[in-house]
Amino acid sequence: MSGRGLWRLWHAALLGSGVVAYLTADEDTYRMHQAAGYLFVVLILGRLIAALAGSGAFALRRPARLSAQGRPGVRASLRPLLPWMTAGLLLVLGLAGLSGVGADWSKAFKGVHEILGEVTPWVVFAHVVLVVAVFAGPLAGRKARRRPMGGGSRVLPGLCLAAALATGLASGLAASRPAWAGPPQDAVLAVLAERARAAEGAFAGFDSRRGEALYRALSTNDPELTSCAACHGVDPRAAGRHVKSGRAIEPVAVSANPERFGDIAKVDKRFTRDCKAVLGRACTALEQGDYARFLIER
């Protein structure tokens, strides 16, 4: 296989393993997440070794050397940024992968791994924008010479517009979130209460006793996932273990793990996934609030 073919194969494998790892970070798909993550790390380390070797298609050229080459089809003003962008990308990807390996052995790496996992897509996006900025103009020029009536490249302006819209949308969503002076769990309970009030005409508040009953209730939907307590344990203040993947689960009670029920987006994600997995149906707004109150007060 030619150097270009290997280059494309490496990119495809890295992208595929990265996407799979990003989408399978939950407990019930953790083994797939592990396999994809370890492949991701191997590909990054292989790329770094090839870069340090300094030869072939995988060599990482220094900015001065790249500028002196005068490669056609590359804008001179942006050419020196390519190796720096590649080095930064490999650094972030490498740290994201290695912190994931570390998280399998120590909880100290878990927070770092989650942060890097959320940062990585944006770094990849910046890399793509730079590559398009460097190569789109010359490629469009070649097409224009072949087709004199054709217009200029619209790829880069389109990407810039998409980035601006995404940034504006994210800023608007952040600004629309209410500010809460109390613990984050109070904000989550307030959101759940609004939903329960809208769904239940005679909503009278959440009940931690009903929440505990739901936590311990047996279900026949899955012979392994018989209840929430099957994975989280009889005492939610203790660490649990996923019955299918064997992955250790941090305590679900807020008294033992203050990060629990502090982010409504994460709470919604877990209810959507776990209610279907354990009960075979979606949890009602009242059930969600009862369950959350039980574990917040536990």
The mean pLDDT of 101-120, rounded to a whole number, is 84
Query: What pLDDT shows up at residue 289?
Result: 95
In a 3-state reduction of DSSP, which class is residue 114? helix
Q: How far apart are CA 123 and CA 214, in angstroms?
A: 42
Which part of the chain is CATH 1.10.760.10?
184-297
Average pLDDT, the chain: 78
Query: What pLDDT shows up at residue 141?
Result: 52
Q: If phi over 0 gives left and psi between -120 and 50 gives alpha, with beta otherwise, what is residue 179?
A: beta
| 155-210 tens-digit pLDDT | 445 444 444 444 444 444 434 444 443 588 999 999 999 999 998 878 899 999 99
Query: What pLDDT shows up at residue 202?
Result: 83
Query: What pLDDT shows up at residue 292?
Result: 95
Q: Domain 184-297 - what CATH class?
A: mainly alpha
| 142-170 tens-digit pLDDT | 544 555 444 444 444 544 444 444 444 44
Higher-confidence residue of 31 and 212: namely 212
Alpha carbon 294 to its chain's center = 29
The mean pLDDT of 104-122, rounded to a whole number, is 84
Query: What pLDDT shows up at residue 106?
Result: 78
Query: What pLDDT shows up at residue 150?
Result: 43
255 — pLDDT class (breaks 50, 70, 90): very high
Query: What pLDDT shows up at residue 280?
Result: 92
Higher-confidence residue of 124 and 67: namely 124
57 — pLDDT class (breaks 50, 70, 90): low
Query: What pLDDT shows up at residue 194?
Result: 93
Poorest-pLDDT segment among 41-45, 137-141, 162-166, 261-265? 162-166
140: Cβ contacts below 8 Å, ≥ 6 apart? 152, 153, 155
Q: How far apart are CA 142 and CA 144, in angstroms?
A: 5
Beta pairing partners, 248: 241
Other C-beta atoms lying within 10 Å of the C-beta of residue 139: 13
pTM check: above 0.85:
no
Q: Say whether pLDDT at 298 is over 60.
A: yes
In a 3-state reduction of DSSP, which class is residue 248? strand
60 — pLDDT class (breaks 50, 70, 90): low
232 — pLDDT class (breaks 50, 70, 90): very high
